[in-house]
Amino acid sequence: MDTTSTYHGRLGWTAVALDPLHHGAGTEGNTQILRMQDVMLPDGTVGRVPFVSGNSLKHVIRDGGMQFALEAMGVPAGSMSKAVVDLLFSGGALTKSGTAVNLAKARDIADLFPLLAVCGYAAGNFMQGSKIRVEHLHLACEENAWRVPASLRDAPQLRKRAATFRAEEFGTRHEPTKDPRVFALLEAGDRDARLRQLSGDLADGEKKQKSQQMLYEFQVVAAGSVWFGGLTFDDFSAMELAALRSALERASIGTSADGAPIYVIGAKASVGFGRMAFTFDGGLRETISPPQFSPAESIMPLGEKADTDAMSAYVAHLREHRDDIMGALKDLA
Amino acid sequence: MKPFIVTARMAEPIVTYRDGLHLDGPLAFACFQDLTPEARAAVPPIESPWAEDFDLPLAKWEGEAELFASTDPRLTSDGEVRSDEDGVVFGTVWGWRCSAAIAVSGAVASVHDQRRKPAIEEMVRWSDDGRVEIGGGPRAARNLRFPSMVARELRWYAVGDPERALALLRRHVPAIGKLARSGNGRVLEWTVESTENDWSVRGPHGEVMRRLPARMVPDHPSGEGAIRAPYHHRSRWVSSVAPEAWGSGC
């Protein structure tokens, strides 16, 4: 693996929602609403389109990369402080004031544990910006037609407004004691009280037990909708490139029938929402003004031509320096 | 050095504290990025009390400004911070000849929420601590709300070397404003065109096109703010007048 080169590049993606997608922005009434972005349309009016924030996608990458690194190093569960866990999975926090920054420490940790430099972090009085810029994930629709990548310019979805792709789903939370087998598990007192409540025989002053039965609703973007986005990176070392690939590979939950890696995006993944099949087009920057990218299979995650030597070198580095890395993280956090 | 117009076609809303988004901000960032890795490593970190000035492809303006007692003399043209008989601190400062951003076809104020979710599940698995406080402190669960601006096209007036400015912007500035690393302020395309009008500092009708020291525009209401990049850095703050052009569509 070339350890001296510096890489600049872009990894673009289009994604097809295999399930409805919910990326929420709070609740209105009893409905969890979608996160929307204001878009200025060509006629000067403002439209609103659902989107998935770059921050959310960046978290998917950070989480995948950290899980990969910790597993590669064989770090046992329950062995880190919460400050270190926070640094790794949430990017840490500024915890000290002062104007003298320990640059040597920042360089050391970036060399030892490349994923921290890739995703950025804050520790002590120092904030290290991430080396990746993760774009928001946008819906292919009429309002977004002016910013789609070339591969989607003729997509039929661009003739339809964003609202066409929106839908509403609901879930039901059951009152568990309606099931006789669950009812039988209650203590005798609670069972009697429940029976008295059902037959309308509650004693004077006896409190009615609240039923857990409820419907909840949430807005989604329909399965089959097409999305686009990407990330750019600058000044990557070969190790940082491998760290990014490790993150994308670890975050994937499998592949679709046509081999596209699947990621879980947004909320409610545990109840059947948010699987998206991604198609990548990656490139390393060839010219710098204006930037043009040449296809580079070596930076793709999960590709047949993926550079396995680079990944092996990354894993070997993590294993070899495991104690140094864990010590440096403890110091940093 | 000649007058020129820079245009950015925007892909995303810009997260900004309405500080004008002066062109020398992204150009200073680009000049830093354009240094060799060795030269970059030699630049003091931005957290230092003084931030470096880089060799921007822009001409300079100069004028007298009321300063703070703590002002670094490097802010002034002659390296001197003086005070008059009333104890008012002043000096001759300089800045770059470029305007604040102008939203060509108007701009709409919006907000951007950035979530910071505590890593509870990960702490359960990986940490050996018994409790974590998420109601406050460094690991608080929070939605950070930032002001943002939706605009299709931004324009700046400047005087300097347009070719070098365009090369730097295209090479190093894919996005402007805050939170650019999580998808905001992405620029689809930078372009430059020449113009005969030098509206980099004052506009066609005398408008204040960029933040200027209050003493240079005494007939305007003044406050405090930075007069040259980096605009967030306290070392650049003086008693000054905000630009009038932002969002005007002029």
Residues A203 and A233 in one domain: no
Mark whether A131 and A18 lie in a shared domain: yes
Residue A149 has what pLDDT? 93
A 27-46: CB under 8 A from B: 35, 37-40, 42, 44, 46
User: Same domain for A84 and A36?
Assistant: yes
A159, part of any domain: yes
Residue of B166, B181, B234 best to disrupt the A interface, most CBs of A under 10 A: B181
Same-domain pairing of A194 and A51: no
Q: Does residue A182 share a domain with residue A96?
A: no
**Contact residues, chain A, for B36 at CB < 8 Å:** none
User: Å from A183 to nearest chain B CA?
Assistant: 31
CB-CB contact of B157 with B5 (8 Å): yes
In this structure, is residue A328 part of a structural domain? yes
Last residue of a domain, one of A190, A212, A234: A212
Assess whether A238 and A102 both reside in one domain. Answer: yes
Q: How far apart are CA A62 and CA A84, in angstroms?
A: 14
- CB-nearest to A288 from B119, B128, B171 is B171
Does A23 fall in a domain?
yes
Strand-pair partners of A38: A48
Taking CB atoms and an 8 Å cutoff, what residues of chain A touch B181?
Answer: 54, 58, 120, 129-130, 132-134
Q: Tell me how far apart the alpha carbons of residues B150 and B164 are, in angstroms, rounded to a whole number.
A: 28
Decide if A290 and B47 are in contact by the 8 Å CB cutoff: no
Q: How many domains does chain A have?
A: 2
A125 touching B, CB under 8 A? Answer: yes
Would you state the pLDDT for residue B141?
Answer: 80
Contact B186 A135 (CB under 8 A): yes
The pLDDT assigned to A309 comes to 82
pTM for the whole thing? Answer: 0.81
Instruction: Name which of B211, B238, B233 is nearest B51 in CA terms.
Output: B233
Q: Is the dihedral of CA A191, A192, A195, A196 positive or negative?
A: negative
pLDDT of residue B227: 95
Q: Which residues of chain A have pLDDT under 50?
A: 1
What are the C-alpha distances in Å from A46 to residues A191, A312, B20, B106? 57, 49, 22, 11
Residues A151 and A227 both lie in one domain: yes
Cross-chain Cβ contact B125/A78 below 8 Å: yes
pLDDT given for residue B248 in this prediction: 47
- Report the mean per-residue pLDDT for chain B: 90
For position B250, what pLDDT does the model report?
A: 33
Last residue of a domain, one of A212, A230, A265: A212
The partner residue sitting opposite A38, judged by closest CB among B13, B127, B132, is B13
Confirm whether A1 is domain-assigned. Answer: no
Backbone angles phi, psi at B171, to 5 degrees: -75, -40
From the list A53, A84, A92, the residue facing B183 with the nearest CB is A53
Looking at the fold, whether A68 and A113 belong to one and the same domain comes out as yes
Coil/strand/helix, residue A308: helix
| Domain span at A186 | 175-212
In chain A, residues 231-250 whose CB comes closer than 8 Å to chain B: 232, 234-235
Both A139 and A33 in a single domain?
yes
From the list A58, A66, A78, the residue facing B127 with the nearest CB is: A78
Query: What is the DSSP pairing of strand A31-34 with strand A214-221?
Result: parallel
Distance from CA of B233 to the nearest CA of A (A): 13
- Is some CB atom of chain B closer than 8 A to the CB atom of A152? no
Low-confidence ranges of chain B (pLDDT < 70): 245-250
pLDDT given at position A7: 86
Number of neighbours of residue B122 by Cβ within 10 angstroms? 20
Residues A151 and A121 in one domain: yes
Choosing among A4, A11, A40, which should be mutated to test the B contact, i.e. which has the most B CBs within 10 A? A40
Co-location of A137 and A121 in the same domain:
yes
Tokens representing A168 are 């509403």
Pair A208, A258 in one domain: no
3-class secondary structure, A33: strand
The region, left, alpha or beta by phi > 0 then psi within -120 to 50, assigned to residue B228 is beta
Instruction: Kindly determine whether residue B13 and residue A133, on different chains, have CB atoms separated by under 8 Å.
Output: no
| B24 DSSP assignment | H
In terms of Cα–Cα distance, which of A264, A253, A278 is closest to A23?
A264
Rg value, chain A, Cα: 25
Residue A29 falls within a domain, yes or no?
Answer: yes
A68 touches chain B (CB under 8 A): no
pLDDT of residue A194: 85
pLDDT for the residue numbered B137? 77
Q: Which of A25, A301, A245 is nearest to A132 (CA)?
A: A245
A2 inside domain = no
